[in-house]
Structure 1
Amino acid sequence: MPHPSALHQETELLLSVSQGDERAFTAIYNHYHQRLGTHIYRITKSTELAEEVVHDVFLKIWLNRETLVNVENFPVYLYVISKNAALNCLKRAAREKALTTELDADFDQISLPGTPEDDYRYILIDEAIDRLPPQQRQAYLLARHERLSYMEVAQRMNLSKETVKKYLQIATGFISEYIIKRLIISTLIVLQYSF
């Protein structure tokens, strides 16, 4: 149980944060960010996602700082919003992964004469990657082929992590669409010659 004076000091800090005091915010951040990161890591099982969620949670707290005066138990408040943020982050990551899995499933369901499926898959992926704008292509290749994290790609390309994430989302969507369209065309050709 925290000492009463520590609770009083935290209440004063939160009041200062609600009034826009950046030093008070830094003090709250320094006090909680590591524990919060550990808590979120238990949910996400990913250091990168945990860092991202901690950053997002504290950004949200700062942007909504006026509401802190209504918070009675800050640690509980912090853990609840961070848990929700972590679960949302996992859902987003699952949706991104589902796109790739969906592509694999599409390939598994179709066999094309004269071309081994795996070869055809890589041909289509390469074609789609070649059609991406240069920045998106570079981000995609660094993330998917070199297995770099968002942060590493951002540093390598001198971009923000958010921009890298956006590039990867757009690139993945384009590649999916391109491959599905090509699969439909190939399927129609196969059907045409089988009658």
Structure 2
Amino acid sequence: MKIDTLHNETELLTLSASGCEKSFAALFHCYRDKIYSVALRLTGSVFLAEEVVQDIFLKLWVKKENLSGIHEFEDYLFIMTRNHVFSALKRMARQQQLVDDLQLEMPSAENTTYNSILNQEMEQILQQAVELLPAQQKQIYLLSKEEELKRDEIAKMLRISSETVKTHLARALRHIRAYSKLRLDNPISWLLFFLIN
């Protein structure tokens, strides 16, 4: 959907600010690809770019009452996306530094044993999480991660749209992340889990 005039965009922002989901959906469909493109260019990661789109629109919806006060919405989104990506990249860099520091502090024999145990634990939790997925999400996740098929290939194979594959894959990944975070007691363990998966 394309928003033709500033008037229409202003109206959509005002309606969204009052809680109109249809108007917010119109804004989402108009701008999601632009946000995705910016995020992909900045991160170089399809997965991170998709996460950024979800995070940005979630933030906008949570603070929807502020939408009616935004005049240059596209510029606002660009700045919001850029800041979100830079914050996420800084956070990831800090997390990686923490992991590196922890590995340096451990003697190498202990480090190898610890990593081996952690990898086994993470693999087991990942398998459990995948087993709990609904049948179609599980099938799509396995085709994507184990068979390394692209979204379009999966869509063609299962005779569904590429968007449906994308949706199922995003839901599967959210479930796996949430399940894994709950099962890994040690914060460092789940941090490592997300850095390597």
TM over 0.5: yes
List runs of 5+ in structure 2 lacking aligned partners: 130-145, 149-167, 192-197
Q: Which has the larger radius of gyration?
A: 1
Match of 1:69 in 2: 68
Shift of 1:120: 4.8
CA distance change for structure 1 residues 39 and 8 in 2, over 3 Å: closer, same or farther?
A: same
Counterpart among 113, 122, 126 of residue 116 in structure 2: 126
**DSSP 3-state at the match of 1:72:** coil
Match of 1:31 in 2: 30
* Conserved 8 A contact 1:18-1:67: yes
1:166 and 1:152 mapped to 2: Cα distance?
Answer: 18
Shift of 1:160: 2.5
Match of 1:78 in 2: 77
Shift of 1:101: 2.0
Aligned length: 155
Structure 1 runs (4+) greater than 4 angstroms displaced: 128-132, 136-139, 151-154, 167-172
**Correspondence 1:173 to 2:188:** yes
Per the normalisation by structure 1, the TM-score is: 0.62
Query: What root-mean-square deviation, in Å, do the aligned CA atoms of Structure 1 and Structure 2 show?
Result: 3.8
Per the normalisation by structure 2, the TM-score is: 0.62
List runs of 5+ in structure 1 lacking aligned partners: 111-116, 140-145, 177-195
Q: How does 1:1-195 map to 2 (within 5 A)?
A: 6-107=5-106, 110=107, 117=108, 120-128=110-118, 135=125, 155=172, 160=175, 163=178, 166=181, 171=186, 173-174=188-189
2:125 and 2:11 mapped to 1: Cα distance?
Answer: 47
**DSSP 3-state at the match of 1:160:** helix
Identity %: 28
